[in-house]
């Protein structure tokens, strides 16, 4: 066996022929780009989500601007026509941009579902798309809720002004009657103007013009609120579809809390055991040291006794 190994070693040495030497600095190395799987899809999703989030931030600023205009409208007695025109323009812009953003968010949700079916539910790209979709949905819902609240405040202000001006002219209008007049639109204003006919005068004409403007604005507000409510119905459907997922997330969070409590108990128990072990080790070490000292003392005593006896014998 030893001779066989020596023969194989000699054959390998004989067959080995060193190749030409290369200078590493002179050799040109080819560079390759590393392309990760689905990187383009993730980049597209993040880019679209960032764009939508930016548009939502701008939309939120417009909602705050509308709230400021409505506040000025409710407290001012001058330039009401100009303030109303600005408020209507801002509100229409918010509504149009909100509908466009809703369509884009829906498209992102469909893309998330397609990626989940194509890749898998646990793949990185599908999970990223799902998280972005849910986050943008919540932000959109919050912004449109603020817009709806602002329009509702303006609606209440218009109703109070109409009722106040009508009471000045000697006619009391209840909320139910005002709802009917607003629902009829232009016909409602004809009925309202006929019921408010009084003897001529500048104050009565001014009050009639004021009521007419408030009635027209209230009709437009009701129309805008209906369209916004339709968006809220669609959003409510989305929230119901995500309810199961949210329940699963809540259950996982509760489980995590339970596991955390168990881990804390085990860690405390382990620390107590480590302390006990350390104490036992220290005690054993101390006992061992004491025993060693005693042994050394005994040995020294024995040596001394032996030396003394030897001296006495001599």
Residue 35's pLDDT is: 47
More confident site: 311 or 154: 154
Mean predicted confidence (pLDDT) in 114-130: 83
100-109, 213-222, 275-284, 285-294: which is most confident? 100-109
pLDDT at 267 over 90: no
Mean predicted confidence (pLDDT) in 76-87: 64
pLDDT at 273 over 60: yes
pLDDT at 44 over 50: yes
Contact 221, 155 (CB under 8 A): yes
Mean pLDDT for the chain overall: 70
Domains of the chain with bracketed CATH: 39-229 (1.20.58.70)
CB atoms under 10 Å from CB of 227, counted, come to 11
141-168 pLDDT, tens digit per residue, is: 889 888 888 888 877 877 777 777 777 6
Using CA atoms, how far apart are residues 77 and 177, in angstroms rounded to an integer? 26
pLDDT bucket at 58, cuts 50 / 70 / 90: very high
pLDDT at 90 over 50: yes
Residue among 231, 209, 212, 208 nearest 220 (CA): 212
Written as one string, the DSSP assignment of the chain is -HHHHHHHHHHHHHH--------TTTSPPPP-----TTHHHHHHHHHHHHHHHHHHHHHHHHHHHHHHHHHHHHH--SSHHHHHHHHHHHHHHHHHHHHHHHHHHHHHHHHHHHHHHHT-TTSHHHHHHHHHHHHHHHHHHHHHHHHHHHHHHHHHHHHHHHHHHHHHTT----HHHHHHHHHHTHHHHHHHHHHT--S--HHHHHHHHHHHHHHHHHHHHHHHHHHHHHHHHHHHHHHHHTHHHHHHHHHHHHHHHHHHHHHHHHHHHHHHHHHHHHHHHHHHHHHHHHHHHHHHHHHHHHHHHHHHHHHHH-
Residue 50's pLDDT is: 92
């Amino acid at each position: 066996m030893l001779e066989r190994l020596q023969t194989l070693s000699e054959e390998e040495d004989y067959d080995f022929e060193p190749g030409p030497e290369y200078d590493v600095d002179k050799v040109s190395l080819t560079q390759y780009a590393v392309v990760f799987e689905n990187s383009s899809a993730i980049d597209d999703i993040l880019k679209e989500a960032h764009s939508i989030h930016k548009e939502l931030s701008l939309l939120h600023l417009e909602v705050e601007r509308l709230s400021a205009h409505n506040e000025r409208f409710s407290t001012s007695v001058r330039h009401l026509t100009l303030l109303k025109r600005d408020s209507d323009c801002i509100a229409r812009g918010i509504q149009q941009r909100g509908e466009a953003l809703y369509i884009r968010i829906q498209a992102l949700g469909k893309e998330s579902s397609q990626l989940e079916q194509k890749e898998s539910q646990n793949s990185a790209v599908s999970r990223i798309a799902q998280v972005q979709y849910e986050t943008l949905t919540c932000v959109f819902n919050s912004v449109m809720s603020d817009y709806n609240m602002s329009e509702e405040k303006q609606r209440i202000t218009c109703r109070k002004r109409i009722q106040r001006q009508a009471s000045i002219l000697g006619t009391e209008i209840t909320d139910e009657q005002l709802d009917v007049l607003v629902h009829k639109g232009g016909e409602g204003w004809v009925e309202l103007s006929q019921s408010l006919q009084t003897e001529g005068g500048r104050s009565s004409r001014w009050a009639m013009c004021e009521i007419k403007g408030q009635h027209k604005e209230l009709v437009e507000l009701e129309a805008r609120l209906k369209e916004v409510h339709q968006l809220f119905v669609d959003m409510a459907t989305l929230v119901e579809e995500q309810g199961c997922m949210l329940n699963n997330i809540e259950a996982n969070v509760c489980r995590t809390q339970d596991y955390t409590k168990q881990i804390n108990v085990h860690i405390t128990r382990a620390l107590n055991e480590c302390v006990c072990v350390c104490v036992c080790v220290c005690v054993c070490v101390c006992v061992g040291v004491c025993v060693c000292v005693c042994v050394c003392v005994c040995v020294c005593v024995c040596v001394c006794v032996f030396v003394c006896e030897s001296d006495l014998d001599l």
